[in-house]
A and B are shown apart, each in its own frame.
Chain A
Amino acid sequence: MSDERHPSVSESAAAQIDSDLTRLLSIAPSAAFVPGVEQRIREQAARKPARFSWWIGLAAAAALVLAVSFGSRAWRTPPAPQQARHTNRTAIQPSVERPAMHPMAPEPEPRRIARHRTPHVPAFARGAAEPGPAQAEVLVSGDQLRAIARLQQLVAKGDMSENNLPPVGDGAAAATDIRPAPLTIAPLTVSAVETVTGGVAGSEGPSQR
């Protein structure tokens, strides 16, 4: 099988190629070849136990991590108590019982923590960390809160209407006006002031001038 582009290989050419290649590859291993192989096998056998050492190291590291994580959970300090915030709020509003600025808003159930129990804190008295509904803090006195509560009850019963609401500007409104009493300063009498000489001022006779 031959053509002009790919002339066939003559037998002599093929034989020549084989002969040349055989001659080029006619090398023999040196005397140190077999001992070299045996040496490498011995070195490989000596390194073999180290192959599993990384498993041991990995297991030790995993055990250490688990021990640290469990230990940290056991010794974890309790979070900052909410009682301190509650105490601060009660200092501002000493007479608060269970008032609610927004009576329609349902009060969330108190948190139940296994380690310690926090007392129920009204929604308006909770700090910013509480995830309750957003409410503006309003500081009112106890009397006003009781009045508002009473008003809510009357409205709920239907007893409150415009007819029986006190008119604006009446004496009741005036009663709500806060008018501080004017300050009065009693004049000082000279007789009440001791003189430098030790005698009582005013005890002397007519003026010597």
Chain B
Amino acid sequence: MPDAASLEKIGGVMSIEADLERDFGERLRDCSSVAVRVAYSVLRHRQDAEDVAQDAFTRAYKKFAQLRDRDRFRAWLVRTTWRLALDRRRAEKRRLTREAAAAPRGGSGTAENAAIAEERAARLWAAIDLLPEKLRLTIVLSAIEGYDTREVAGLLGLPEGTVKSRLFLARKRLAESLQCLMNDTHR
């Protein structure tokens, strides 16, 4: 029969585990959107993006004792999700080409507006694919609603100046690519 000290020790361990479970639940609710969006920026498919994001959260659970800090958890999750999405994309390259056309439409409006929006989205995705990986991740994170330069720097573990220069370079290359793609379309 365990004594009071053992019971207290067991209870202490269980309370720590309960705290960990509770904290992880909070992280899961706070960071699920950013994980799914980061994965979606690579895979362009909702189901695959959620699958990769769930995998990243499962891995984060294993290491949650080291990732209990809020900022640290978010940064680790973004990097891991990005890496897993790239791996999945390399493995399923053919299917992604087919599914890229089924990207969600933004905004509402007439059919003509929807077609224009769809065409613009396809060109933008194609231009993003031409970016180097570092620039691609930086501009994707900055485009996710609510993230400013300081927060993107924290997620990537980079100085703010580096993030600003990467954003400038990424936008410049995107504009050039979009212009080229637009000229190819109108020929």
Task: Give A residues with C-beta under 8 Å from B.
Answer: 6, 8-9, 13-14, 17-18, 20-30, 33-34, 36-37, 40-41, 44
Closest Cβ of chain A to B135, distance in Å, is 12
B145 near A: Cβ within 8 Å? yes
CB distance from A87 to the nearest CB of B (A): 74
A-contacting 9-mer, from B6-14, B26-34, B84-92? B26-34
Q: List 30 A-B contacts (CB under 8 A).
A: A6-B172, A6-B176, A8-B172, A9-B171, A13-B171, A17-B174, A17-B175, A18-B171, A20-B106, A20-B120, A21-B140, A22-B143, A23-B107, A24-B106, A24-B121, A24-B124, A24-B125, A25-B41, A26-B106, A26-B145, A27-B40, A27-B46, A28-B36, A29-B32, A30-B46, A33-B53, A37-B58, A44-B58, A44-B61, A44-B62
Assuming the contacts A18-B143, A33-B32, asked whether A25 and B172 have C-beta atoms less than 8 A apart, the reply is no
Chain A contacts for B171, CB-based, 8 A:
9, 13-14, 17-18
Contacts of A21 in B (CB 8 A): 124, 128, 139-140, 143
Beta-carbon nearest neighbor of B141 in chain A? A25
Q: In angstroms, how far is the closest chain B Cβ from the Cβ of A11?
A: 10
Asked if B104 is at the interface of the complex by the 8 Å CB criterion, the answer is yes
User: In the complex, A147 Cα to B142 Cα: how many Å?
Assistant: 113
Report the count of interface residues on B (CB-CB < 8 A). Answer: 40
Given contacts A9-B175, A17-B175, A37-B28, contact A25 B140 (CB under 8 A): yes
Q: Collect the chain B residues with CB atoms within 8 Å of residue A44's CB.
A: 58, 61-62
Contact A27 B36 (CB under 8 A): yes
Task: Report which B residues bind A (CB closer than 8 A).
Answer: 28-29, 32-33, 36-37, 40-41, 46, 49-50, 53-55, 57-58, 61-62, 103-104, 106-107, 120-121, 124-125, 128, 139-140, 142-145, 168, 171-172, 174-176, 178
Residue pair B58, A29 in contact (C-beta under 8 Å): no
Bound complex: CA A41 to CA B61 (Å): 8
With A17-B178, A40-B57 given, name 11 new contacts (CB 8 A): A6-B176, A8-B172, A21-B128, A22-B143, A25-B143, A27-B37, A27-B46, A28-B36, A29-B33, A33-B50, A36-B50
Closest to A23 in B: B106
CA gap between A148 and B106 in the complex, in Å: 118
The residue that B58 contacts in the complex, of A22, A28, A33, A41, with Cβ under 8 A, is A41
Q: Are A14 and B175 in contact (CB under 8 A)?
A: yes
Docked Cα-Cα span, A41 to B58, in Å, equals 6
Closest chain B residue, CB of each to CB of A34: B28
Q: In angstroms, how far is the closest chain A Cβ from the Cβ of B5?
A: 28
- Whole-angstrom CA separation of A13 from B178 in the bound complex: 10
A49 to chain B, nearest CB (A): 15
A14's closest neighbor in chain B, by CB? B171
